[in-house]
Amino acid sequence: MREIDVAIIGAGPSGLFAAYYAGFRGLSVALIDNLPEPGGQVTAMYPEKQIYDIGGFPSIKGRELVANLVEQAAPFHPSYLLGTRADALTYADDHPVLTLSSGEQVRCGAVIITGGMGSFKPRPLPAAEAFTGTGIVFFVPHLADLAGRDVLIVGGGDSAFDWALALEPLAKSVTLVHRRDRFRAHAATVARVQDLSVRIVVNAEIAKIHGEEAITHADIAVKGAETETIPVDTVVAALGFTADLGPLAEWGLDLDKRHVKVDSTMATNLPRVFAAGDITEYPGKVRLIATGFGEAATAVNNAAVAIDPDAHLFPGHSSDNG
């Protein structure tokens, strides 16, 4: 069984800042996330999008924000337990014990839930169900991986158009297919993509994906027209995500729909379990990354006292350690 001071469930911005702050307080940390890399929704849904409401940054790309948060926490050596889910919560000697989907158990001084919108998974692409090879992705962690490739993007929302905007300068070709002739994406983003070399095909769906070990072509079925086959190396299925609390919903937490109720200390109704970020609910709650940072610091400081009642709630300013 792994022993840790603070287990943080969710490695998005709030979780990463909580990892830094817990390290700053001298606490050992494990970050647990079902996704294969840190960053949460930011990495999965808008890594190349500019974010304008982070204090001290007039604008910063989602990917850069995540990289900075990982770097900020790095001196304190947090453990990253990625690609695994926190399935069950029990207690041993008044300490929380998490059982992960990998089978590993983590005994904690405290738990901080920073799961954003909960566990989320991409909506499936129907045409991909019969295809067993590689080349179908739901987000693009590294744009350079698709340089010089024929890319097919499926979807009509913000993510689809953001990927088109980001990939157009790098890819050999970019084709965007949407089943309607109207888009959910922001009109200004749609206009920018329309001014590029991106081919936009509306009232259309992917009928079939060809290839054995990897994608080579795809059939596009356009309403009222003949099916067209185009060369494709990578399909980006930007069809959105479905979200739910997953196993967290069975832990006995006081919930408001998909959100965890907390008090002013970020404590939940369960002993030694705190929460921060978008997943929390309290009167006047505002769901911003900037808000999550403050909540993460509050949760860590109160968790530190729960772990050691002799500890000070306020640890001093970080500038005092310079």
Residues in binding site for FAD:
14, 33, 41, 46, 86, 120, 278, 319
Q: Which two tokens stand for residue 6?
A: 């603070």
CA separation for the pair 40, 112 (Å, rounded): 15
**Residue 173 and residue 218: Cα distance in Å, rounded?**
14
- Which residues are known binding-site members? 14, 33, 41, 46, 86, 120, 278, 319
H/E run at residue 287: none
Indicate the angle between helix axes 13-24 and 62-73, nearest 10 degrees: 20
> Which helix (H) or strand (E) element contains residue 196?
none
- Token match 């590029």: residue? 196
Residue 214 near residue 136, CB atoms below 8 Å: no
Dihedral sign (CA 163, 169, 173, 176): positive
At position 156, the amino acid (one-letter code) is G
Beta-bridge mates of residue 99: 88, 105
Interstrand relation of 95-100 and 105-113 (parallel, antiparallel or unpaired): antiparallel
**Cβ neighbour number for residue 71 with a 10 Å cutoff:** 11
